[in-house]
Amino acid sequence: MYQLYYSPNACSLATQVVLHELGHKVEIIDKRGVTNFNEISATGAVPALKDNDAVLLEGAAIMIYLLEKQTTPMFSSNPIERAQAIEDIMFANATMHPAYSKLFFISSLDIDDTAKKIALNAAADSINSLWNIVEQRLQENDFLGGDHYSATDIMLTVYSRWNQFHPVDILLGERTRNLLEHISNLASFQRAIANETKQSAIYEA
């Protein structure tokens, strides 16, 4: 059985959703209750996934590990489509996520309000340009994964929930909003959110 270390509302929510989608049983563990979490994840970041004796780190690597282990509509076996799916996961994890991380970083700074507002708006501009790329990609398909949603669609939906934490205007196109709504309403997504509000426990897929 998998053990997933998470922080509430963090990117680890996407890992939990994908575990549910793949039909796995998972124990989720709030990292705030783990003493010496840095012995599990040297950077202190979530997600961290335990698969028996193996500890896996880095959200993108964990996604690809899980998707490669079984057949799933979230990960095509066609080499080109699979390469596109990996590119999309990296776009989410290494481009969109860090763009949002800047918002969290700026918000945490003890600087004057005007400087903070300018910095937050600049960070929001770059996030908006990334969501515009997503909107362009969605002109022919409902999901970045094509007809079926992908791990990337789930990751982006988790990041979009961070908009509410910052006093900036994040602009989402209509097709992007439809995608986010569809993913948010998945039973796996709803269950993952509910699980995070409960104490550490084992959750069936």
Ligand X SMILES: N[C@@H](CCC(=O)N[C@@H](CS)C(=O)NCC(=O)O)C(=O)O
Q: Find the shortest distance in angstroms from Cβ 72 to ligand X.
A: 21
Identify the bridge partners of residue 66 per DSSP, sorted by sequence position. Answer: none
44 sits near ligand X (criterion: CB under 6 A)? yes
Q: Find the shortest distance in angstroms from Cβ 140 to ligand X.
A: 29
**With respect to ligand X, which residue has the nearer C-beta, 93 or 163?**
93
**Type of residue found at 161:** R
Is the Cβ–Cβ distance between 71 and 65 less than 8 Å? no
Q: Find the shortest distance in angstroms from Cβ 23 to ligand X.
A: 23
CA-wise closest residue to 101 among 40, 43, 165, 54: 165
Q: Could you give the count of Cα atoms lying within 13 Å of 108 in the half-sphere of its Cβ?
A: 6
Q: Find the shortest distance in angstroms from Cβ 174 to ligand X.
A: 27
**Type of residue found at 130:** L
Site for ligand X in 71-110 (CB under 6 A): 93, 101
Q: Where does residue 82 rank: exposed (0-12), middle (13-18), buried (19+ CB within 10 A)? A: middle
DSSP category for residue 150: -
* Separation of alpha carbons 142 and 23, rounded Å: 23
Binding mask 5-24 for ligand X (x = CB under 6 A): --x--xx-------------
Among residues 19, 26, 29, 45, the one that binds ligand X under rule CB under 6 A: 45
Binding mask 114-153 for ligand X (x = CB under 6 A): ----------------------------------------
Give the interface with ligand X as residue ranges (CB under 6 A): 7, 10-11, 44-47, 58-59, 93, 101
